Structure formats: structure tokens, C-alpha cells
Chain A
Amino acid sequence: MIFDYAEALRELTIGEAGVTAIFGYCVVFFGLVLLMIVLYCTGAYFKSKDAKAEAQAKAALENVRKEVEANPLKVTPVEAPKAPGSAGHVKLHGVPDKEAAMIMAVVADKMQKPLNELHFISIKEVK
């Protein structure tokens, strides 16, 4: 005989097994629901902390903006220096910007030289 049914049933009846199964499932739910509540609470705490920090940052930004509006500074536009090796200003004759950029990139590629080491003076469309 493979199973000792009598012994198995003496240990745990089918009714008891059913109750144990339902109770066990409930315990798993209970544990994880409690954990869920804890996670919601910690999540809410961190969210409120984030919201507070964000509000403080916003308020600080608003203060700066108001201060600038109240005491406007005279800003003299300064032309940014050209990067070393920059292609500089290119005079375009009948060529849109995008096409000019493409032409410069193709030329640099064909010459196998970095674009910022080339100096383009003008690009003109020949019809």
C-alpha cells in the first residue's frame, strides 16, 4: 500500500484541510494588505516631502523673479567669442541654412577633416 489513508486522515481531515487552506490564504492577504498600507503611508510621507520641497523651490524662484522685475539690471549683450577653430560666419548666396550645413558636413567628410578645422567663406548656388 502506497498511502496510509487512515494515518493521513487522522492527521488532517479534509474539512480541516479546507479550513487551513482558506485561513492560510487569508493570512497571506492580511500580511500583504498590511504591508500595502505601510507602503502607502511611507509613499504619502515622501510625496508630501517632495511636494514641500517643490513648493519651496517654486517660491524661491518666484521671489527671485519679483526681485529682478523690481530692480531691472541693464544687460549689455556680449557677443560670445568664437570657438577656436570655428568655421566662422559663412556668407550664403541663394542657399538655405539647412542645405549649407549639409554641404559643409559633406565637404568635411570627403576631406576627412573635422568640421571645426575648416573655414568656409561663402556658399553660392550655381544655376
Chain B
Amino acid sequence: MDVLETLKSLWEGSGFQSFFVDGGWKNLIMIAVACVLLYLGIKKKFEPLLLVGIAFGCLLVNLSYFGPESSDALYHPDLWANFLDPDHTDYHSYGAILAHGGLLDILYIGVKAGIYPSLIFMGVGAMTDFGPLISNPKSLLLGAAAQMGVFLAFFGAVCLGFTGEEAASIGIIGGADGPTAIFLTTRLAPHLLGPIAIAAYSYMALIPMIQPPLMKLLTTKKEREVKMEQNRNVTKTEKIIFPIIVAMFVILLLPSTAPLIGCLMLGNLWRECGVTERLSDTVQNALMNIVTVFLGISVGATTAADSFLNLKTLMIIVLGLTAFAFSTVGGLLVGKIMYKLTGGKVNPLIGSAGVSAVPMAARVSQMEGQKANPSNFLLMHAMGPNVAGVIGSAIAAGFLLAVFS
């Protein structure tokens, strides 16, 4: 046995060697990025359930993929490029992915087919009480207003040179809804999935830092002090009818929203109908956790160095922040209009909860309201716009999908 030759071939086959050839340094940067994301998820608790998985997926792909010749890689961006290329023999061939792909390629099929985001929506529906929205339907206006950032960021992205599909995927970050952002991006601009998912989840975690300065800037102390009247009680029948009405109504209006709204409302119907506790419990806990595992790690896998480290990623991060900020502003402005129209009965702070990060955005409204007036309890009032935002962002995504797909 030629020891030197064996050592040489071991070295050439190792990942360490790959860092020093053909842009392998980019992988090193991405490994550092993955470690930062892990730190943010674990230490700072930034959306840890998803961010830890995304960060580890990022770590795994950048440890194993150094170009199309990396046969042992867990994820192969080149296979997915062929999958999307109409001129390639593997166009839309899941068989090719299963035959040649790694573990994360196979898990990624669930993202690509839109299964994971829809199942997450099912869990969200099963965990959400739409009572505050049913008792105060005006909340829907705030949920609609808070989609302003989606369309402003879309416009901004087109101005910066992104294509319509890419701009739509970037804009949806402003909906503050991770599954919707992933769902839309995999359909319109799958090559941008990594940066968009990371931006969406990072900003969702940063809502307590992004929103309060805007809330203080756009509202007066008098407005923030407003105590709102208690909402009426909602009957069980109303809660059962609600998901059926919303599903029928929204899907008929925008059929492209069917996977998201359908799953959201089915989950909610299981919760409310009172005869499917087992299913509701499974969807809220076991299924949600399983899907979160697969979704996080496979989205993280899309952050291969070659496709992540470029100017576009930086632009997406800036545009995502802009989208979040303007969505907050949109909700607050309509909240202020409601304050005026109702003669001071509506606290405009609940408008910022129209971004659909449930229940984080509603909690921020509650905290800011209580800072202005310690006897103020806005949480239930803010939950209305908050869950309206989930429906609003799904409609916005449905619209963009209808226009660009």
C-alpha cells in the first residue's frame, strides 16, 4: 500500500481540501453565517424552532456541497436547476431527484411541492382562535392595510432590477408570514428561497425591535392610552361557521390561495367543531413539530454558498426590512383613521398587529399600550387584526401567484 498516495487521495476527497479550490472560501463564509444564525436561534431565541433547523441545514449543505461534482452532498442545487430547466431531460422530474439527490434534496421535495407550508398553515389554523376577529370584523381592514409593505417592497424590488417573480417573492416578506413566503417563493423564484426564508424568519423574530419605534413615531400618547371596550361574546356556532365561510369565500375569489387558506381553515374547523379533538391536537402538536423539522432543515439547505453570497441577498435583506416597516406603518395609519372615525374608541396601536406574525405582533401592541396606560389590555383587540393579517397575507400571495405564475 502506498501510504503517501492513500493520504493524497484522502486529502483530495476531503471537504477540507475543497475550501482551498474554486471558490471554496465562500463555503467557509457560509459556515460562519450558519454559526451566527445558530447563535441567534439558540442564545437570542430568534424564532428558534425554525431558525436552528435552517441554520443547521445551511451548515450541512456548505459542508458537503462544493459544486456539481460533489456526489456525496446532502443537497444538490444543480439537480434543482435541471428540475426547473424546461430544456433539460430532468425537467419537473422528481424521479431524478430521488435517484441522484441527497437526504436534503428528498426532504426539499416537500417544500417544492408546497406541502410543508400548507401543513404548517393547518397547524396554525388549529392553534388560532378567530373569536376576536369574528366579534370585531373591522379588524379585517387593519389586516388588509398591513399588507402595504408587501406591495411597496414588490415595487421597490422591480425598481432595483429584480424580475416580477423575484419581486413578488421578496415583497411577501412584508406579510410577516414564513409559510406564505416559502410557499410563494418556491413557486415563483425558488433560487431565492434561502435568503427570503432567512430574512422573513429573522425579521419576524425582530418584531419587538422593529415595530415599537414606528408605533411611537406615528401615534400620540393620547392615542396609545385609549382603552377599548370589551368585544361581544362569540357563539360556538359562529366559530364553526367561520372557517367554512372564509374557505368558500376566499378560495372562490382567488383560487391560487386554496392550499394555504384551505389548510388554515380546515385546521381551525377541527379545533372549533368539538368532535375532532384528537385531530386538532395532532395537527397542533405532533404534525406541526414534524413539519417544522423538515421545513427548517430543507429551507436551510437552499443556502449553498454559490447561490447565497451575492448582492441580491443583501438587497433582499434590505427590502425585507423595508417591507416589514411599511406593513407596520400601513396598519398604524388605518388604525389612526379608525381612531378618528370612531371618536377615539379604537386604539391605533392594534393596527400594527395587522402583520401576520401571530401572536408576536399582538403582544407588541399589548406591551406598547400598557406602557402608555398600565391599565390597558389590548391583547384580545390586537389578536383580531393579527389573525386578519394571516388571511390578508394569504390573499396577497394568492394575487401575486395569479399574476406571475
Contacts and interface: CB of A to CB of B under 8 A. Distances in A.
A125 to B, nearest CB: 43
B125 to A, nearest CB: 16
A42 B403 contact: no
Contact of A8 (B135, B148, B158, B232): B158
B395 A31 contact: yes
B26 interface: no
B154 A21 contact: yes
B155 A18 contact: yes
Given A2-B310, A2-B312, A32-B392, A46 B235 contact: yes
B330 to A, nearest CB: 9
Interface residues of B, number: 47
Contact of A24 (B135, B151, B250, B310): B151
A28 B167 CA distance: 18
A21 B161 contact: no
B163 A7 contact: yes
Contacts of A39: 133-134, 137, 140, 242, 245
Interface of A: 2-3, 5, 7-9, 11-12, 14, 17-18, 20-22, 24-25, 27-29, 31-36, 38-40, 42-43, 46-47, 50
Nearest to B248: A38
Interface string B374-405: 00000000000000100110011001100100
A33 B143 CA distance: 10
B144 A32 contact: yes
Given A28-B399, A35-B249, A43 B137 contact: yes
Interface string B227-244: 000001001011001100
B143 A32 contact: yes
Chain B at the A interface: mostly helix, strand, loop or mixed?
helix
B152 interface: yes
A100 to B, nearest CB: 38
A5 B162 CA distance: 8
Given A27-B399, A36-B138, A8 B238 contact: no
Given A22-B151, A43-B238, A46-B238, A32 B391 contact: yes
Nearest to B162: A8
Contact of A34 (B133, B167, B249): B249
Contacts of B167: 12, 17
26 contacts: A2-B310, A3-B162, A8-B162, A14-B155, A17-B164, A20-B154, A20-B164, A22-B151, A25-B147, A25-B151, A27-B399, A28-B147, A29-B144, A31-B253, A32-B143, A32-B388, A33-B141, A33-B144, A34-B249, A35-B246, A36-B137, A39-B133, A39-B242, A40-B137, A43-B135, A43-B137
Interface in B276-291: none
B99 to A, nearest CB: 33
Contact of B144 (A7, A28, A50): A28
A71 B159 CA distance: 85
B21 interface: no
Q: Which of A12, A20, A28, A32 has the most CB of B within 10 A?
A: A28
B1 interface: no
A24 B154 contact: yes
Contacts of A38: 245, 249
B158 A12 contact: yes
A7 to B, nearest CB: 7
A14 B162 CA distance: 11
Contacts of A36: 137-138, 140-141
Q: Which 10 A-B pairs have the closest CB atoms?
A: A17-B158, A39-B137, A21-B151, A12-B164, A3-B161, A32-B144, A32-B140, A36-B140, A36-B137, A21-B155
Contacts of A20: 154, 164, 403
Contact of A21 (B141, B152, B232, B388): B152
B293 interface: no
B311 interface: yes
B329 to A, nearest CB: 13
B235 A50 contact: yes
B152 A24 contact: no
A5 B161 contact: yes
B254 interface: yes
A35 B155 contact: no
Interface in B156-171: 158-159, 161-164, 167
Given A2-B312, A24-B400, A34 B253 contact: yes
A46 B144 CA distance: 25
B6 to A, nearest CB: 43
